[in-house]
Amino acid sequence: MRRVLDACCGSRMFWFNRNHEDAIYMDIRKFSDTLCDGRKLEINPDIVADFKEMPFADESFYLVVFDPPHLLKAGKNSWLGKKYGILGQDWENEIAQGFMECMRVLKTNGTLIFKWNEDQIKLNEILKVIDTEPLFGNRRSKTHWLVFMK
């Protein structure tokens, strides 16, 4: 049984071990491409699924990592859009549903790590949408890591 879910794994950029035996990597996308700077982009999840409707039973994981797309404005074929994904115009509901799904699949007393880049949507707007106060996190740069416990 794997204990960790990365609900929006993308290319697994922040993982030290991108094939950790304890993790399930999920993303709505699966593709391979070469970016404009020549680097290869691989999005190859274990499970292709939408973070708003996860195919897991309640309380399945001890740790969930939620790093959803943070861009509203990016071209569909731009390297930023390919690398990070793009939110829809109904982003508030997308993020709220995704957060609720992460909490649903998280075991009681489990930990949720939420990563957000506020380049286009400020963190305080996200916190209003998820309506849950983090235990702690960082607030010093554009990219924030927040920790929640169920």
Q: What's the CA dihedral at 51, 57, 59, 65 to 10 degrees? A: -20
User: pLDDT tier at 72 (50, 70, 90 boundaries)?
Assistant: very high
Kindly report which listed range (30-34, 60-64, 97-101) carries the lowest average pLDDT score.
Answer: 30-34
Quick: pLDDT tens for 103-146: 999 999 999 999 999 999 999 999 999 999 999 999 788 999 99
Quick: pLDDT tens for 89-106: 999 999 999 999 999 999
What CATH number should be reported for the domain holding residue 113? 3.40.50.150
- What domain range includes position 115? 4-149
Q: Is 133 exposed, middle or buried (0-12, 13-18, 19+ CB in 10 A)?
A: exposed
Question: What pTM, to 2 d.p., does this model score?
Answer: 0.93
CA-based torsion, 81, 44, 18, 3: positive or negative: positive
Could you tell me the two tokens for 59? 């309380």
Domain count, the chain: 1
User: pLDDT tier at 22 (50, 70, 90 boundaries)?
Assistant: very high
